[in-house]
Each structure stands twice: as structure tokens, then as C-alpha cells.
């Protein structure tokens, strides 16, 4: 079994696939699972595609952020995106915090808050 991409190696950002590439991956995986009678729903499918892409060092596009908190986003090693829970417009130099994760805008894969 091939080793997963080293989650500690964050010196370079993983490539974010385009929305079109992500949707194509979801479509293909969904079709295969449906033919096999193993389709378990949209959410497990999206989770599986996210995990498969993350295993080869790719990220799914960040979701549209909620606007009731800071819009900064950050992907964990599994490729799941987290959004900052601080107030909108907080000082970015203080860093961003999503409970389980905290990060700065300097992190290679961080998406800064929208202006
Ligand atoms: Zn923030």
C-alpha cells in the first residue's frame, strides 16, 4: 500500500482541483458505486472523493463560506475544509481559529478572509 502524503509536509501547498474536476470525480465515483449497488448517499460520496484526492495530495475546492463568522478557511490533512469561527472582520494577524484547528494567513493552503 502506498504511503499517504505526509500531512506534516506543509512547506508547499497541495493543489486545489477545479470545481469541474471535483464534480467529474464525484460523478464517476457515484456512477461506479451505483452500478455496484453500493451508493450510500451524496455525503459519503463527497467524503470519499475528498479523502481519495487528499490521499494523492489534492484538495477539493473550499466550500462557499458562511458569512456569519470570519470567512478564512483552512484544509486539514484529510482535505476537509474548516472555516474560522471568530467574528467577521477580526484582525487577521491574531490568527484564525475553528476549534480543532487554528492557522495563520501565512499557512500555504490557507484561504484569507474575504474583504
Ligand atoms: Zn478568522
CB atoms within 5 A of ion ligand 1 belong to 70, 72, 84, 86, 96
Cell 484564525 found at: 96
Ligand 1 centre distance from Cα of residue 112 (Å):
8
Cell 501565512 found at: 106
Helices (H), 1-115: 19-35, 42-55
Backbone dihedral angles phi then psi of residue 112, each to the nearest 5 degrees: -65, 160
Query: What DSSP string describes 44-76?
Result: HHHHHHHHHHHHTTEEPPPPPPPSSS---EEE-
Give me the mean pLDDT over the 21-25 stretch.
98
- Boundaries of every domain in the chain: 15-59, 63-115
Spell out a b/e string for 60-95, using b for 16 or more CB atoms within 10 Å of the CB, else e.
Answer: bebeebeeebbbbbbbeeebbbbbbebeeebebeeb
For the stretch 85-96, pLDDT in tens is: 999 999 999 999
pLDDT score for 12? 82
| Predicted TM-score (pTM) of this structure | 0.84
Ligand 1 centre distance from Cα of residue 23 (Å):
28
Confidence of residue 9 (pLDDT cuts 50, 70, 90): low
Ligand 1 centre distance from Cα of residue 86 (Å):
5
Amino acid at each position: 500500500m502506498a504511503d499517504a502524503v505526509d500531512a506534516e509536509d506543509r512547506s508547499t501547498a497541495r493543489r486545489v482541483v477545479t470545481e469541474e474536476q471535483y464534480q467529474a470525480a464525484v460523478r464517476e465515483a457515484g456512477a461506479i458505486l451505483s452500478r455496484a449497488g453500493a451508493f450510500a448517499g451524496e455525503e459519503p460520496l463527497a467524503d470519499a472523493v475528498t479523502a481519495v484526492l487528499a490521499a494523492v495530495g489534492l484538495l477539493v475546492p473550499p466550500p462557499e463560506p458562511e458569512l456569519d463568522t470570519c470567512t478564512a478557511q483552512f484544509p486539514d490533512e484529510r482535505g476537509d475544509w474548516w472555516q474560522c469561527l471568530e467574528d467577521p472582520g477580526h484582525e487577521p494577524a491574531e490568527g484564525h481559529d475553528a476549534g480543532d484547528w487554528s492557522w495563520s494567513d501565512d499557512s500555504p493552503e490557507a484561504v484569507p478572509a474575504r474583504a
